Structure 1
Amino acid sequence: MNAALIERVREVIGRAGQTQTAQAERLGMTPDKLSKSLSGVRRFTSLELALLADAASTTVDWLISGRQTREAANVAARRNGDGDSTQADARETLARYENLIDALARLGHCLPALPSLPSVKDPSPRAIDQGEELANEALTALSKSPRLMGNEELAAACEGTYGIQIAATKLPEGLDGVAWSPADFRLIVVASTAKWTRQRFTLAHELGHVLAGDAQDAVAEHLSPGQSQSIHEMRANSFAAAFLMPRDEVARDAHAGMDAWAIGKLAWKYKVSPSAMATRLKGLGLIDVDQRREALKITTRDAAQATGGLADHLKGAKAAEQGWPPDTLSRLAARAYLQGDMSVRPLASLWEVDPATLLDVLEPSEDAASESTTVEAGLVFTP
């Protein structure tokens, strides 16, 4: 067996501060098997290497080759008064998904080939127009309008169209989202939050970065719509606005002399905040500065209540706060587990549930199974 691999495994075990017996138990091995593997008599299985990598927060690729892959350079986490996000925060968020993607690939469970992205012209002062053009391409590629989909459904639609793994999870305070698109995968992570319209705009903004080719290096940020100065940020904001509030549709639904409540109701129809809709309408020349200023006083809750949609607003807030894992990555991890290639721990981590709880769902006890199949005499159907 590769002596360097064994040395790296010993390093991982040493860092854990546990005995070989404890490590063997954690990996589902006997101490004798671990001893033989460390002496070169027996080979580590793919599953054992995956478990070691997962426990050490590294990759199987590093254990085998010693190569650290895909360093996310130039992570520019924006800070604000509500938090103190750093490059390390963003890198840690990315590594959680990167490590699982690498481990699954080593086990033969690879993400599908990436579809091509729209072509983008050279960055210029026309960044706002570029964002609008990109949004029109994306809207044509999707199966239905974003305003007809909730946040998680919209994420799944974008994943299916562009091969982007999109997750919503708890992020460090002050960090709204992260986008990263190295050569072999595309990843967007947005913050789980009850402010579902903000989560939605973040998702669209990060999608704009990926489609524009801005995310070869990781892009981590706190969004301040309308306040970004760089060409890339202007383009991503323009994309998000045009993607969620298409020019032709909004122009058709808007009317002269709209007051703040009319703008709020229109915002609710498009599943965006009243402030986002007012900014879009002002940018399209459909309302003036005073109308926009008045609309900024209306909240999403106000708009929901005015349209009889308060229950839907609460459902949206709950779903956005719970978050979700990337759909394709979840399917790959589940398949790896069911085929015996990976333990339940990475799958549970991805879904942010306790491994024991997930095992109860995936492998119910005999008592639970028998209880579910017990029927009363003569009963034909059990609801």
Structure 2
Amino acid sequence: MAAIADLLNTSIHWLVTGERDPYEVKLSARHAWDPQGRTDQPHDWRTAKRVSNDIAGIYHQVGLGAAGQHATIPAAASPVEAARWARGHLEAAMAEGQVLADHLVTLIERVFAIDVFVIDYDAVFDAYSAEANGAKFIVQRTTGAWWRATFNVAHELGHILHNDLAYSDEERAVRSDEWWANNFAAELLLPEADMGSFDWLTEDVKEVAQFAVSHGVSTAALANRVNTLGIWPSREIVKALAWKTPRLLQNAYSPFWVAPIEDVYRAPRFPGRVIAEHQKAVAEGRISGQTLAWMLGVPTEDVDPNWGAGATMTAKRLHATL
């Protein structure tokens, strides 16, 4: 039955009952765009499900549900309208002098009750957004390319607010969903007002680099936004926007310059409320400390005093028990 369920890309629960598994994860996997073919590149849905199910298991182990009431965007809002609405809520929660891109992850959790995970995983993926046990969450892989990760997280926030998560790609209007999330992320991170206030004719390459860093985006995202808004930059800036992001930063600063927000995505990160719930469950003896140790990056015995204290299960003892 497990093999049949895997072949049909469904659950054993559905095979037996004909109904959705109450613990099945709804998600949206990050699609890569093929500019030559003008299509979304296919991805491995099973890998997406495996990663999302592993994260969902963290919630199920301790019976953890939603972080709070999930915000909903105004009805029939366009991606631009939704992004402006979302940015207004995020900025209202920011401290004076803070930059949105630097604190995007924590702000999303605080404002929209959406957990954000950054994980170091064996599978190759960019980012997923998902829902399990009532909790909505975003998963981003560890990377030093903060410019890509920031856009990914904003893109996945768009999917969740747009409510287009599904049990499989066949249940989604992939192209329109991806278009919506991309346009949402572009306006959220690079508001039209900010783009219009920058002098694209007279500023130099260093100013462009500073603009990219302060908005947490890549040169490609910036170039796309310039084209979408019909902005005509100077030749020097057009040339700079064709570079890869590291080259822009190295040219403007130094070969060894590192942006502060790189630390947000370079190492694993888990939501504070998830860690706290696992600490409580381990202390009460309801679960082992294996998952908590994984999240904290420490040996299990460091967080679970009972780890390894029980009798070891041998083949003889198992046979006697059965």
TM-score, normalised via structure 2 length: 0.71
Is 2:296 aligned against 1:351? yes
Q: Structure 1 residues 329 and 319, CA, compared in 2 at 3 Å: closer, same or farther?
A: same
Q: Does 1:148 align with 2:148?
A: no
Give the structure 2 partner of residue 374 of structure 1: none
- Corresponding residue for 1:116? 71
State the AA in 1 paired with 2:76: K
Q: Secondary structure at the match of 1:69?
A: coil
Of residues 113, 116, 121, the one that matches 1:163 is 113
Task: Say if 1:75 and 1:186 are closer, same or farther in 2 by CA, change over 3 A.
Answer: closer
**What are structure 1's unaligned runs of at least 5 residues?**
1-66, 123-129, 220-227, 361-383
* Structure showing greater Rg: 1
Equivalent residues of 2:25, 2:56 under 8 A apart: no
Contact 1:337–1:343 (CA under 8 A) maintained in structure 2: yes
Residue number among 2, 13, 24 corresponding to 1:71 in the alignment:
24
State which of 62, 81, 92 in structure 2 corresponds to 1:104: 62
Looking at structure 2, the residues matched to 150 and 340 of structure 1 have their Cα atoms a distance apart, in angstroms, of 39
Give the corresponding residue for 2:144.
194
Q: For this pair of structures, how many residues does the alignment match?
A: 276
Residue 159 of structure 2 contacts residue 165 of structure 2 at CA under 8 Å; is this kept in 1? yes
Other structure's SS at 2:230 match = coil
| Of 351-360 and 337-346, the range deviating more from structure 2 | 351-360
Distance 2:209 2:67 in 1: 41
Contact 1:84 1:174 in 2 (8 A): no
Q: What secondary structure, in the 3-state scheme, does the structure 2 residue paired with 1:343 have? A: coil
Measured in 2, the distance between the counterparts of 1:254 and 1:323 equals 38
- TM-score in terms of structure 1 length: 0.61
Tell me the amino acid that sits aligned with residue 24 of structure 2.
Answer: E
Q: What is the distance in 1 between the residues matched to 2:303 and 2:254?
A: 34
Q: Is the aligned partner of 1:208 residue 2:166?
A: no
Aligned to 2:51: 93
Distance 1:116 1:189, change over 3 A: same
Q: Secondary structure at the match of 2:187?
A: helix
SS of the aligned residue for 2:258 comes to: helix
Quote the Cα distance in structure 2 between the aligned partners of 1:194 and 1:112: 28
Letter in structure 2 aligned against 1:69? P
The amino acid that maps onto 2:221 is A
CA distance in 1, matches of 2:199, 2:303: 48
Question: Once the two structures are superposed, what CA deviation does each residue of 1:223-269 show, in whole Å capped at 9, x if it has no partner?
Answer: xxxxx981111111111111111111232133435565543332123
Determine if the alignment matches structure 1 residue 180 to structure 2 residue 156: no
Q: 2:85 aligns with which of 137, 144, 157?
A: 137
Map 1:223-242; keep pairs closer than 5 Å.
230-242=175-187
Distance 1:358 1:289, change over 3 A: farther
Task: Write out per-residue CA displacement over residues 44-68 of structure 1, whole angstroms, 9 at most, x where no aligned residue.
Answer: xxxxxxxxxxxxxxxxxxxxxxx94
- The answer as to whether partners of 1:80 and 1:174 remain within 8 angstroms in 2 is no
Partner secondary structure for residue 278 of structure 1: helix
The Cα shift of 1:275 comes to 2.0
Task: Give me the whole-angstrom Cα distance separating, in 1, the residues matched to 2:139 and 2:266.
Answer: 13
Report the Cα offset of residue 299 of structure 1.
3.3
AA matched with 2:282 = Y
1:265 corresponding residue in structure 2: 210
Contact 2:28/2:129, CA 8 A, preserved across alignment: no
Q: Percent identity?
A: 20
Cα 1:341–1:199 change in 2 (3 A) is same
Q: Helix, strand or coil: the match of 1:112?
A: coil
| Letter of the structure 1 residue corresponding to residue 274 of structure 2 | L
- Tell me which residue corresponds to 2:309: none
SS in structure 2 at match of 1:179: strand
- Secondary structure of 1:230's counterpart equals helix
Give the secondary-structure state (helix, strand or coil) at the position aligned to 1:323.
Answer: coil
Once the 2 structures are TM-superposed, how far is the Cα of residue 166 of structure 1 from its aligned partner? 0.8
1:308 positional shift: 4.0
1:334 and 2:279 correspond: yes
C-alpha contact 2:65 2:134 (8 A) present in aligned 1: no
Structure 2 distance, partners of 1:300, 1:74, is 29
SS in 2 for 1:116: coil
Contact 2:209 2:252 in 1 (8 A): no
Tell me how far 1:216 sits from its aligned partner: 4.2
Distance, in Å, in 2 between the alignment partners of 1:274 and 1:75 is 25
Q: Which runs of 5+ in 2 are unaligned?
A: 1-19, 35-40, 306-322
Q: Is the 8 A contact 2:159 2:177 kept in 1?
A: yes
